Amino acid sequence: MNCTSITRWTIRAAAATAIAAAGFAVTVPAGADPVWPGGPDIPGIPQLVPSPPGQISAPCSAAARACLRLSTNEGWLMDNGRVVYGPTPISHGRPGYETPPGTFHVAFKEPYHWSTMHNAEMRWAVFFNGDIATHIGPIEEQSHGCIRMTPEGAKAFYDYVNPGDVFEVVP
């Protein structure tokens, strides 16, 4: 074999090996677990797994479609007093910017909102008390009044509630 044919053979063998390796990588499933299989892996924060209907109770009235408890940093979605989702972890307003308890109605919702007050993104925003909304945000930090949620929780609230629906916020 001369040098040219050895070089061609080596290139062809390398190309065939790369193609085979790429095909193998596509067909073999990943062996690791997903990063967020049931929610955040944060100590002290419950897993984000929708609860089976009828097994969990929330501290709000049967009129509420969304229920938020500030003292335990939890939120639920409700249907005629029955929990259909939650609890999901939340955070709320810091001292001086407290989220007020009360009964409110969803004013509007936006999949992507930009806060001009705080120069911040508010994805899956559901506004229920003036400029206070639920949206994606770091749940380990308190806000300027909004309800921060995990991405899954914020999306579930956004998809479930509609303008006019009752939001209850309890201490």
Q: 75, 165, 159: which is closest to 124 by C-alpha?
A: 159
Residues 104 and 127: their CA atoms lie apart, in Å, by 10
Catalytic annotation, pick one of 60, 67, 135, 144:
135
Tokens of 147: 């309800």
| Sign of the alpha-carbon torsion through 34, 136, 143, 39 | negative
When pLDDT is cut at 50, 70 and 90, the band that residue 32 belongs to is very low
pLDDT at 50: 55
pLDDT at 36: 47
Indicate if the pLDDT at residue 23 is higher than 60: no
Whole-model pTM: value is 0.68
- Residues 48-68 have a mean pLDDT of 79
The per-residue pLDDT for range 66-119, each reduced to its tens digit, is: 999 999 999 999 999 999 999 999 999 999 999 999 999 999 999 999 888 888
Stronger pLDDT, 117 or 130, i.e. the higher one? 130
Is 146 one of the catalytic residues?
yes
In terms of DSSP bridges, do strands 166-170 and 132-136 run parallel, antiparallel, or are they unpaired? Answer: unpaired
Tokens of 63: 């009129």
**Residue 14 burial class via C-beta count within 10 angstroms: exposed 0-12, middle 13-18, buried 19 and up:** exposed
Contact 77, 84 (CB under 8 A): yes
pLDDT at 57: 87
Cα→Cα distances 25→22, 31, 35, Å? 5, 12, 20
* H runs (alpha helix) in the chain: 3-27, 151-160
Lowest-confidence pick of 18-32, 59-73, 126-140:
18-32
When pLDDT is cut at 50, 70 and 90, the band that residue 33 belongs to is very low
Is 135 one of the catalytic residues?
yes
Question: Please, what are the domains in the chain?
Answer: 64-167 (2.40.440.10)
